[in-house]
């Protein structure tokens, strides 16, 4: 009932409090300010907290020792006093105008008022004049950090006590207040430690999430190098059981040849605090050793002392292999006898190998970079580069052909087989051009020597034809009966001589004139040598097509070889035999068909190919991009040669 009436009294007195009633509204004696006191109180984060047995026990002890019906742990806020613990009051807080403890925080260590109704500070206090009717008060100050008063541990009685408290009671009350101060500071310290631990736990979680997301293997050590953490990547890579590589167990995963070197470097970093970096081979879970880059940095405190080491292992095995391959490729490029160069899309030279520098007479790469791509060509080839090569490169992605560089020292042209193709980045975008160009000067000299030899041989063969023809004429003059035979023989000899002009190798200067020539026209010219008694042994018919210089030589070689073999083994080797040669234009292709008849029976396909046949097949595939087929039928050989029409004009 008393507690209930007190609560009713407090509610009634709160209704009549002035709105501006506050605790510590002024400046204190200088040792502390109101703002500092309130800041300290709020920093404790104790206001409105739940009751705790420790405080309740201290309040009961105070009430028992002081033989008081009411005891409070009172904390004085700006507009209220709040009770962390109360005994005998039944309230957790009161308005500030009911507070006697507000006077205690200004009084020193302890304030005792024997009769509240007789003290000017409390004579009008609602707790004195109202229902509770308190007459006695004793309070010991509760202090925070730096001695700032926060409230009081107080006892109250409803009868005056002129004698106050005895010495033991006063000492006990003061000691209990100090204990409460200690509890409050402990509470704050505990809260800070808990917050720090929560922060550390959150930091640890963030660290583990971060290291789990990293593609590298991550590890940490204590200042002395003891390994105490590895992320999942380490265990996934090594296949080792979790925790098995803590401490010094990590070194066993290294290649035996790398262990001592890695240990030495790691000990040096531990002794000096220098960053750790080394490449070594680490055993993969499949048993192979892969090259790995190990790095570690020390984490230091504010004084510079090493707290931990943070390290990573990065798998660089693929990179090492790529570097090895790149090194081999670079060695090949630099030792190649061909001109190898790179330039940007706008023609700025970025690299030339040693052979390239020597070919054009430049002393070094730095000098070469002062020139542009077009500077390397002779005037005529420069025009070809601009008008033909670069447009073709953009259309088809590459170009190859004969051009001439210029020698920067002598100005002389240098014949080359030039090719060019784009260089692309990993996304496929063009970033420049490259060339692997061959010096043709030696080849040109060899070609000139070969052409000279060919011309000499051809001249000698023509002389042989002339001598044989002369002998035939001489025979006819001395033997009139042989005159018809000699005339026919000389005519056939002349046809062979004309065919020889087509089938022998030619240089561009020695090639026979073929302007206006056609396939069937060429065939008649070559096959004229095989006429007998005015009768064509090779019957030529069908569609015709224009023919170019290169194709004429190739076709002449192929068909001459075919006719020679027919004279030896096939349809032209017997008096009754013959050959049908026909042409057909169809679907963008031109087909020559050679069909033998009347010769010796064909029993099987030849077991081997002669040199002439191999040469003919290579000419069809390489020069004409055509197809050559043979059918060894019992009645005679059937040969089919198919070539794209557009290739005939080359």
Q: What is the pLDDT of residues 485-543, one digit of tens each?
A: 666 565 555 655 665 555 555 555 555 554 558 888 888 888 877 777 777 888 999 99
> What pLDDT, on a 0 to 100 scale, did the predictor assign at position 377?
95
Contact 557, 546 (CB under 8 A): no
In whole angstroms, give the CA distance from residue 344 to residue 489: 67
SS3 455: helix
Helix (H) or strand (E) holding 180: helix 167-213
Contact 538, 593 (CB under 8 A): no
In whole angstroms, give the CA distance from residue 631 to residue 570: 13
- The CATH class for the domain spanning 344-434 reads alpha beta
Level-2 CATH architecture, domain 513-650: 2-Layer Sandwich (3.30)
> Can you give the C-alpha Rg of the chain in angstroms?
56
Where do the structural domains in the chain lie, given as residue ranges? Answer: 2-191, 215-321, 344-434, 440-512, 513-650
The mean predicted confidence, pLDDT, of the chain is: 84
> What pLDDT, on a 0 to 100 scale, did the predictor assign at position 205?
82
- According to the CATH classification, is domain 2-191 in 3.20.20.70? no
* DSSP letter (8 states) at residue 162: T
SS3 163: coil
- Residues 467-477, mean pLDDT to the nearest whole number: 63
Which of 629, 628, 634, 631 has the alpha carbon at shortest distance from 599? 634
- Residues 589-615, mean pLDDT to the nearest whole number: 83
> What pLDDT, on a 0 to 100 scale, did the predictor assign at position 79?
93
pLDDT tier at 24, thresholds 50, 70, 90: very low
- Residue with more model confidence, 493 or 417: 417
SS3 121: coil
Which of 333, 329, 255 has the alpha carbon at shortest distance from 294? 255
In whole angstroms, give the CA distance from residue 189 to residue 186: 5
C-alpha distances in Å from residue 70, one per residue of 131, 156, 332, 372, 496? 15, 5, 100, 102, 144
Beta strand 306-315 pairing with 217-221: antiparallel
CATH tag for 215-321 (out of 3.30.450.20, 3.90.78.10, 3.30.365.10, 3.10.20.30): 3.30.450.20
Which of 273, 313, 306, 275 has the alpha carbon at shortest distance from 291? 313
Domains 2-191 and 344-434 fall in the same CATH topology: yes
């Amino acid at each position: 009932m008393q507690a209930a009436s007190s609560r009713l009294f407090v509610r009634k007195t709160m209704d009549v409090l002035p709105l501006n009633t506050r605790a510590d509204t002024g400046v204190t004696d200088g040792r502390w300010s109101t703002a500092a006191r309130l800041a300290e109180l709020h920093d404790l984060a104790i206001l409105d907290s739940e009751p705790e047995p420790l405080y309740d026990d201290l309040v009961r002890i105070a009430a028992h020792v002081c033989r008081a019906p009411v005891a409070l742990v009172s904390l004085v806020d700006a507009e209220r006093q709040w009770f962390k613990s109360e005994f005998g009051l039944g309230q957790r807080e009161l308005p500030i105008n009911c507070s006697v403890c507000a006077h205690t925080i200004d009084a020193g260590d302890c304030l005792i008022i024997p009769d509240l109704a007789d003290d000017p500070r409390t004579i009008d206090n609602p707790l004195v004049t109202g229902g509770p009717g308190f007459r006695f008060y004793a309070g010991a100050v509760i202090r925070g950090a730096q001695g700032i008063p926060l409230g009081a541990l107080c006892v109250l009685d409803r009868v005056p006590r002129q004698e106050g408290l005895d010495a033991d009671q006063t000492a006990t009350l003061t000691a209990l207040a100090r204990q409460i101060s200690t509890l409050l500071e402990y509470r704050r310290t505990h809260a800070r430690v808990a917050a720090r631990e929560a922060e550390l736990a959150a930091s640890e979680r963030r660290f583990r999430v971060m290291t789990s997301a990293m593609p590298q293997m991550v590890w940490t050590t204590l200042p002395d190098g003891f390994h105490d953490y590895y992320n999942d990547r380490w265990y996934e890579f090594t296949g080792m059981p979790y925790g098995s590589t803590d401490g010094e167990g990590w070194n066993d995963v290294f290649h035996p040849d790398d262990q001592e070197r890695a240990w030495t470097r790691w000990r040096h970093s531990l002794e000096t605090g220098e960053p750790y970096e080394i490449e070594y081979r680490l055993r993969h879970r499949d048993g192979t050793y892969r090259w790995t880059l190990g790095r570690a940095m020390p984490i230091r405190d504010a004084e510079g002392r090493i707290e931990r080491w943070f390290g990573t292992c990065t798998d660089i095995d693929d990179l090492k292999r790529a570097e090895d391959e790149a090194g081999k490729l670079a060695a090949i490029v630099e030792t190649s006898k061909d001109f190898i160069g790179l330039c940007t899309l706008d023609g700025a030279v970025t690299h030339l190998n040693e052979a390239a520098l020597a070919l054009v007479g430049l002393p070094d790469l730095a000098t070469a970079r002062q020139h542009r791509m077009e500077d390397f060509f002779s005037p005529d080839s420069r025009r070809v580069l601009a008008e033909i090569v670069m447009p073709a490169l953009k259309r088809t992605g590459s170009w190859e052909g004969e051009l001439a560089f210029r020698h920067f020292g002598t100005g002389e042209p240098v014949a080359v087989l030039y090719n060019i193709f784009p260089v692309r980045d990993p996304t496929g975008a063009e970033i420049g051009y490259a060339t692997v160009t061959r010096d043709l000067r030696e080849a040109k000299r060899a070609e000139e020597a070969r052409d000279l030899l060919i011309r000499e041989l051809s001249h000698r063969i023509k002389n042989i034809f002339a001598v044989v023809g002369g002998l035939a004429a001489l025979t006819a003059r001395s033997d009139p009966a042989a005159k018809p035979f000699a005339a026919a023989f000389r005519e056939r000899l002349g046809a062979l001589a004309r065919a020889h002009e087509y089938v022998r190798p030619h240089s561009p200067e020695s090639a026979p004139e073929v302007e206006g020539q056609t396939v069937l026209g060429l065939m008649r010219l070559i096959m004229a040598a095989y006429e007998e008694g005015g009768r064509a042994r090779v019957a030529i018919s069908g569609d015709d097509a224009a023919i170019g210089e290169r194709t004429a030589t190739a076709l002449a070689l192929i068909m001459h070889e075919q006719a020679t073999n027919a004279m030896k083994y096939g349809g032209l080797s017997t008096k009754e035999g013959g050959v049908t040669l026909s042409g057909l234009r169809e679907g963008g292709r031109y087909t020559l068909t050679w069909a033998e008849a009347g010769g010796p029976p064909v029993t099987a396909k030849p077991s081997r190919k002669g040199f002439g046949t191999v040469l003919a097949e290579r000419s069809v595939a390489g020069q004409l991009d055509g197809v050559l087929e043979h059918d060894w039928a019992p009645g005679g050989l059937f040969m089919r040669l198919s070539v794209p029409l557009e290739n005939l004009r080359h």
